[in-house]
């Protein structure tokens, strides 16, 4: 039998005794979660953690929101699941109506997770071309640094070396666009010159695949792979123009950024662009249920309506009643409490505090992001911009130090830099933002003390 092993890992080592659960890291020992309340999470030893990353940047309303829990309990007492191939659901209709009103997109397709919604978007685009009589268009373009999900199509889009490694034989190399990552790729150019360089590169790649290109998929603000990589002004608008001139659909992955996280309903609004499809995920369920959606333009859906009149894609739990009612309650909270505007307002406070920390902690090479999605690039040396050695070591050290100080922050896991995301819940108060900054300051100070001993 062929031995399967990861280079550099002792294959004789096994998981800790007594556990049948396959964990992300076999060696990692983690606290056991007990409960959450507001912006705080508690473990079974009674320790309290300020959730400075909203779980996986999805618990946008914090934890145990009473309005959401009430709606969930009421629906659970009625029915939790009905398959959309058997029953029509008024809850799914209401959610689609609500998302359409909120975003202006006329059509909504409901899914289970962000990865599945990205896959659904890819299939809608390729079906669009087949309905138009161009079946050879099945290739996509995306950035060399980015993360779109763990399924095969979504991972093919992802510039995420660590996630791609094991699945590489299954994947396509869609991720070829130069990332709009000024800190590492501008090479001394100002924003205007870097934007021009990026768009020239994108135009060449679009034209090179003109006969087989189905669409372009990008994150408006990067998430897990690089840590809130934010494009220079003009880039996304220019990319949308290039796609429009060539008749190629543009898809924005707003799984992490959508529904208020960046201080706008959709992050693409910061640059006044309107993609052909938008993928929503994390914030739609806000950590209460797994759910996601694809927002689609009239042109995409009506091409299918004029042809086969059937979407050849679906998942068991897509649009199930409990998820739809929960998402409607989440949207109620976001709108009734003004959380999109709050994210913009609190984002200014958070950004100013992070910039102040960067002035005192030389490990912070750059602060970037929008609203309540902020990223810190970590470096060993500011002049050379050298990341940790080995790569990822600074990220792990800061995440560990923060957790020891009662603060949760999210590691950039792409294997391309050292960075973390700071993304507290949209319900945070100004005082809780200040507490986050105090805890992060203490965590950075402890890191410095440890490195000097």
**Strands of 410-411's sheet, edge to edge?**
364-370, 373-378, 419-422, 410-411
As given in the structure block, the two tokens for residue 193 are 């010159």
Structure tokens at 48: 């309290």
What is the SS3 assignment for 182?
Answer: helix
- The Cβ of residue 136 has, within 10 Å, a number of other Cβ atoms equal to 11
What is the token pair recorded at 450? 């440890």
- Residue corresponding to tokens 């694809």: 294
Nearest residue to 183 (alpha-carbon basis) of 389, 377, 390: 377
Alpha carbons 160 and 147: distance in angstroms, whole number: 6
Distance separating alpha carbons of residues 230 and 233, to the nearest angstrom: 9
| CA-angle at 23, arms to 119 and 282, nearest 5° | 40
Q: What phi, psi does 259 have (nearest 5°)?
A: 70, 40
CA-nearest of 123, 114, 117, 347 to 223 is 114
Contact 318, 311 (CB under 8 A): no
Which uninterrupted H or E stretch holds 333? helix 321-336
Q: Per the residue annotation, which of 128, 147, 235, 410 is the catalytic one?
A: 147
Question: Can 147 be counted among the known catalytic residues?
Answer: yes
| C-beta neighbour count of 92 within 10 angstroms | 22
C-alpha–C-alpha distance, residues 407 and 180, integer Å: 30
Cα atoms in the 13 Å half-sphere on the side-chain side of 332: 15
Give the residue numbers annotated as catalytic, written as ranges: 147
């Amino acid at each position: 039998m062929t031995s399967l092993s990861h280079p550099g890992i002792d294959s004789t080592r096994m998981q800790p005794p007594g556990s049948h659960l396959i964990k992300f890291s076999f060696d990692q020992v983690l606290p056991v979660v007990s409960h959450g309340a507001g912006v705080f999470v508690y473990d079974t030893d009674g320790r309290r953690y300020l959730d400075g990353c909203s779980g996986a940047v999805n618990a946008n309303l914090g934890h145990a929101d009473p309005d959401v829990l009430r709606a969930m309990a009421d629906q659970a007492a009625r029915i939790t699941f009905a398959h959309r191939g058997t029953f029509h659901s008024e809850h799914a209709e209401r959610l689609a109506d609500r998302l359409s009103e909120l975003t202006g997109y006329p059509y909504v397709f409901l899914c289970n997770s962000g990865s599945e919604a990205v896959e659904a978007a890819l299939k809608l685009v390729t079906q669009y071309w087949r309905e138009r009589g161009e079946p050879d268009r099945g290739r996509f373009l995306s950035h060399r640094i980015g993360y779109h999900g763990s399924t095969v199509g979504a991972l093919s889009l992802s510039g995420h070396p660590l996630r791609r490694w094991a699945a590489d034989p299954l994947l396509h190399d869609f991720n070829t666009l130069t990332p709009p990552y000024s800190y590492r790729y501008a090479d001394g150019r100002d924003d205007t010159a870097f934007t021009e360089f990026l768009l020239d590169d994108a135009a060449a790649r679009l034209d090179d695949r003109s006969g087989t290109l189905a669409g372009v998929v990008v994150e408006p603000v990067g998430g897990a792979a690089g840590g809130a990589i934010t494009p220079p002004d003009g880039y996304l608008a220019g990319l949308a123009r290039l796609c429009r001139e060539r008749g190629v659909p543009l898809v924005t992955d707003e799984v992490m950024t959508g529904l208020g996280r960046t201080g706008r309903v959709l992050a693409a609004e910061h640059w006044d662009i309107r993609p052909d499809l938008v993928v929503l995920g994390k914030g739609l369920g806000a950590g209460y249920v797994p759910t996601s959606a694809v927002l689609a333009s009239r042109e995409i859906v009506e091409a299918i309506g004029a042809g086969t009149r059937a979407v050849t894609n679906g998942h068991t739990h897509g649009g199930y009643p409990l998820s739809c009612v929960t998402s409607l309650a989440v949207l109620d909270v976001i709108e009734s409490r003004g959380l999109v505007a709050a994210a913009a307002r609190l984002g200014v406070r958070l950004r100013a505090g992070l910039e102040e920390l960067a002035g005192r902690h030389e490990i912070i090479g750059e602060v970037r992001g929008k609203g309540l999605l902020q990223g810190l690039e970590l470096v060993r040396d500011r002049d050379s911009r050298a990341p940790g050695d080995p790569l990822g070591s600074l990220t792990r050290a800061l995440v560990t130090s923060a957790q020891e100080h009662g603060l949760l922050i999210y590691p950039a896991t792409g294997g391309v830099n050292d960075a973390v995301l700071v993304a507290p819940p949209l319900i945070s108060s100004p005082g809780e933002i200040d507490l986050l900054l105090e805890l992060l300051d203490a965590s950075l100070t402890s890191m410095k003390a440890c490195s000097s001993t």
